[in-house]
Amino acid sequence: MAKQNITGCILAGGRGLRMGGADKGLIAWQGKPMAQHMLERLAPQVSSVLIIANRNLDRYQTLGVPVVSDASPGFLGPIAGIRRALAQCTRPYLVTTPCDTPEFPLDLVTRLHAALDGSDAEVAVTRRRTTPVSVRDVPAKPWHR
């Protein structure tokens, strides 16, 4: 899979309940917002990155990538963010990540593709748990209807 075929999406729309209601992507870790760490690690692996958020959009925009508001009011979870990302995706592959994983592997997209190659899988699963990181091996647009 060529890098130019992949859109990366950072999901930053959670309530942050375990963080006292703080916007997790904007919490500083090692001197930078967690979403910035994610962007710096994801961007080299994909052709473009966007952030899906439902608050503090102006602060996320300072990171220099498109920021899209979650279309649904309230906090409907990561599926709502993925749905919005699919609507924005112009490439055949979409990789989604949470905003609060600042040590995101620098080769994860390559590893996910290697696992996907020759498989009809649509999401990553580890230890029998579906993860919020996913790769689609089909055009993204038809899935958002």
Q: Are 8 and 66 in contact (CB under 8 A)?
A: no
Name the token pair of 19: 């963080």
Q: Which residues pair with 52 in a beta bridge?
A: 11, 68
The model's pTM: 0.77
pLDDT at 102: 85
Domains and CATH numbers, the chain: 3-143 (3.90.550.10)
Q: How confident is the model at residue 76 (pLDDT cuts 50, 70, 90)?
A: low
Question: 121-124: long-range contacts (C-beta < 8 A, 24 or more apart)?
Answer: none
Q: How confident is the model at residue 133 (pLDDT cuts 50, 70, 90)?
A: low
